[in-house]
Amino acid sequence: MRILSFLLLFLSLTAFAPKPKLTTVKLASNLSVGVPTGFAPLPDDGIAVKYPSPRKPLAVFSNPSGRVDYSVAVRPTTFESFDYGVLIKIYKASIQRLYTKVDFLKEDIRTVNGRDFIYFEFVSTVTDARRTGAQMAPIKRYQAVQYAIEGTQLYVFTFVAPAEEQAQWQPTAQAVMGAIAMKK
């Protein structure tokens, strides 16, 4: 009975928690995203340092401390949106190969603003695999990743925060992923 009372109190308090505040940002003629208030776009040189890759992301927004990022990337693909059932398995395996350990919190195909997305929410861990005596502490990150295909382009939306701050950033990550508007 005591647990039930605590559960009801917790649910009633969280039901009235304020929704994260987002600012709508138009990234392309067919794409608008919700960016958390206080996040700022990273300049090209900041993106190059934080995300070294031959294909730079379309946009990266970071919180004032620089510990939390929201990025949008676009890549060519030969898959189509009706392939989502197969792609969810491929992307899950790909995520698992990137990290030492992955704890999936959610994975599904869902509809946001009339468009289907592949969605993953997980905590990733990378450990130092070097054989030296001075090992570094594992790096753990909370991540929400959403994929969508439009024509020949794959859009990848990624929200990353330190795992120890998951409780603080999870509602924001979910709100950001629910605020993507892609026109067909």
Q: Would residue 64 count as lying in a domain?
A: yes
Within 8 A by CB and 6+ apart from 161, the residues are: 67, 68, 141, 142, 143, 168, 169, 173
pLDDT band at 134 (very low <50, low <70, confident <90, very high): low
pLDDT at residue 8 greater than cutoff 90:
no
In the chain, the number of structural domains is 1
Q: Which residue has the tokens 């928690």?
A: 17
Q: What is the CATH number of the domain that holds 53?
A: 3.40.1000.10
> Quick one: tokens of 183?
């026109």
Q: Would residue 14 count as lying in a domain?
A: no
Q: Would residue 83 count as lying in a domain?
A: yes
The domain in which residue 92 lies consists of 23-128+137-182
pLDDT value at position 3? Answer: 56
Q: Would residue 144 count as lying in a domain?
A: yes
pLDDT value at position 54? Answer: 84
> Quick one: tokens of 71?
């990025």
- Residue 30 and residue 114: Cα distance in Å, rounded? 14
Tens-digit pLDDT profile for residues 60-85: 999 999 999 999 999 999 998 888 99
Q: Would residue 4 count as lying in a domain?
A: no
Half-sphere CA count of 23, side-chain side, radius 13 A: 10
Q: Would residue 165 count as lying in a domain?
A: yes
Q: What are the strands of the beta sheet with 139-150, ordered from one edge?
A: 40-41, 59-62, 69-76, 153-162, 139-150, 115-126, 101-112
Q: Would residue 97 count as lying in a domain?
A: yes
pTM score, two decimals?
Answer: 0.86
User: What residues form DSSP beta bridges with 70?
Assistant: 61, 159
| Phi–psi pair at 126, nearest 5 degrees | -120, 125
Q: Would residue 146 count as lying in a domain?
A: yes
